[in-house]
Amino acid sequence: MTPLLEVEDLRVSFPTRHGRTEVVRGVSFSLGRERLAIVGESGSGKSQTGRAILGLTPPPGKATAARLNFEGQDLRNATPKQWRDLRGRRISLVMQDPKFSLNPVMTIGRQLMEAATRTSQTRAEAKDHALAMLEAVQIRDPLRVFKAYPHELSGGMGQRAMIAMMLIPEPDLLIADEPTSALDVTVQIEVLRILDRLVTDRGMGLIFISHDLRLVSSFCDRVLVMYAGKVVEELRASNLAQAQHPYTQGLFNCLPKIEGGIRPLPTLQRDAEWAR
């Protein structure tokens, strides 16, 4: 069986005055119908990797890859029409910053309907679908949120509205960039449950970008650890606590614990070697 997504030697660079700097430096992985996590520190290139897969590298940045296949289709030179058919239908991206990605002067409902009308026959059906999706992501009062503007929502509600929008077209591949960072754990688990079902029942592929190691180790199947644009370690999620790389080990020690622990918290002593 061919994997859902194959990525080989993905590089993303931005021009600077000292030539181009690569922020993603040769990332390779393949994804089946499974839950793959990408973890790593802020600025390590997680989001840029996700965007590059969808051809959404912001100009003047450039993405290149030796191979970038989605179900056998080469994405590297997909035409704008092919992208239109893929993006938001077969591959969805939940962006990192919901408040930034939602249009501040349009109601949540209108933004959801844009996605829903593509999959539904009638407007009423589309609206039902949109409301059902909001309910599925644990929004208590879907009708109100449907009519609200983004600034009238709490941080976590905006994030869930964004997830609902991306799940409406029932994509085959979902790239979720820190989808649960603003959610409390109980809601977080509900959202993960939805994602989990999509993966196990519908065979969706999931790339889950996160900085929450505890969550990742319990939710995902495999983990890529990124540092300075490179994958420094790849392991089974259940083995994350036994990671080899000093960076991954360090990340675990930085977490505060409910049971209490040392204070000040240990911090990560970065080593220039890691960025090689």
Partner 1 sequence: MTLYWSREWLLAEQPASRRQARVGQAYRTWLALRTNRMAMVGLTIIALLILMAIFAGVLAPFDPIQGGDLRTERLQPPSWTHLMGTDDLARDIYSRILYGSRITLMVVSLVAVIATPVGLLVGTIAGYFGGWIDNVLMRITDIFLAFPQLVLALAFVAALGPGIENAIIAIAITSWPPYARLARAETLTIRNADHIAAIQLQGASSARIIWGHVVPLCLSSVIVRVTLDMAGIILTAAGLGFLGLGAQPPQPEWGAMIAGGRQFIIDDWWVATMPGIAIFVVSLGFNFLGDGLRDVFDPKVRK
Partner 2 sequence: MGMIDITDLAVTFGHGAARVQAVRGISFSVQRGESYGIVGESGSGKSTVLRALVGLAPVTKGTLALDGDTLIGRRSKAFYRRVQMVFQDPYASLHPRQTVDSVLSEPLAIHGFDDREGRVARALDDVGLGLGFRFRYPHQLSGGQRQRVAIARALILEPEVLLLDEPTSALDASIQAEVLNLLDRVRTERGLTYILVSHDLAVVAHMCERLMVMQHGRAVEELSRADLHARVATHEYTRTLLLASEGYRVSDGAAQGAAS
The footprint of partner 2 (CB under 8 A) covers 40-43, 97, 99-100, 139-140, 144, 147, 152-157, 160, 181-189, 192-193, 196-197, 200-201, 211-215, 217-219, 250-252, 254-261, 263-268
Q: Please, which residue, 172 or 177, has the CB nearer to ligand ATP?
A: 177
Residues interacting with ligand ATP, by CB under 6 A? 14, 23, 40, 42-48, 58, 61, 96, 151-157, 182, 211
Residue 215 sits at the vertex; the CA angle it makes with 34 and 274, to the nearest 5 degrees, is 85
Residue 257 binding target from ligand ATP, partner 1, partner 2, none, CB below 5 to 8 Å by type: partner 2
Residue 203 binding target from ligand ATP, partner 1, partner 2, none, CB below 5 to 8 Å by type: none
Min separation Cβ 202 and ligand ATP, Å? 27
Residues in contact with 63: Cβ distance below 8 Å, sequence separation at least 6, in sequence order: 10, 11, 12, 24, 52, 55, 57
| Cα atoms in the Cβ-side hemisphere of radius 13 Å centred on 273 | 5
Residue 241 binding target from ligand ATP, partner 2, Mg ion, none, CB below 5 to 8 Å by type: none
Query: Over the range 24-49, which residues count as b (16 or more CB within 10 Å of their CB) and which as e?
Result: bbebebebebbbbbbbbbeebbbbbb
Residue 183 sits at the vertex; the CA angle it makes with 116 and 222, to the nearest 5 degrees, is 85
Residue 15 binding target from partner 1, partner 2, ligand ATP, none, CB below 5 to 8 Å by type: none
Instruction: State which residue has the least CB distance to ligand ATP.
Output: 156
Q: Is 72 in the site for partner 1 (CB under 8 A)?
A: no
Phi, psi of 107 (to 5 degrees): -70, 155
Q: Which 3 state secondary structure label does DSSP give 55?
A: coil
Tokens 């009308």, residue located: 117
Among 59, 72, 260, 264, binds partner 1 (CB under 8 A): 59
Among 1, 17, 201, 272, binds partner 1 (CB under 8 A): 17
Q: Please, which residue, 155 or 256, has the CB nearer to partner 1?
A: 155
| Cα atoms in the Cβ-side hemisphere of radius 13 Å centred on 190 | 16
Interaction pattern, residues 89-108, with Mg ion; x per rule: CB under 5 A: -------x------------
CA atoms of 217 and 200, how far apart (whole Å): 18
Cα 220 to chain centroid, rounded: 13
Picking from 78, 67, 71, 58, the residue whose alpha carbon sits closest to that of residue 26 is 67
Q: Tell me which residues in 136-175 interact with Mg ion (CB under 5 A).
A: 154-155
Residue numbers at the binding site for Mg ion (CB under 5 A): 47, 96, 154-155
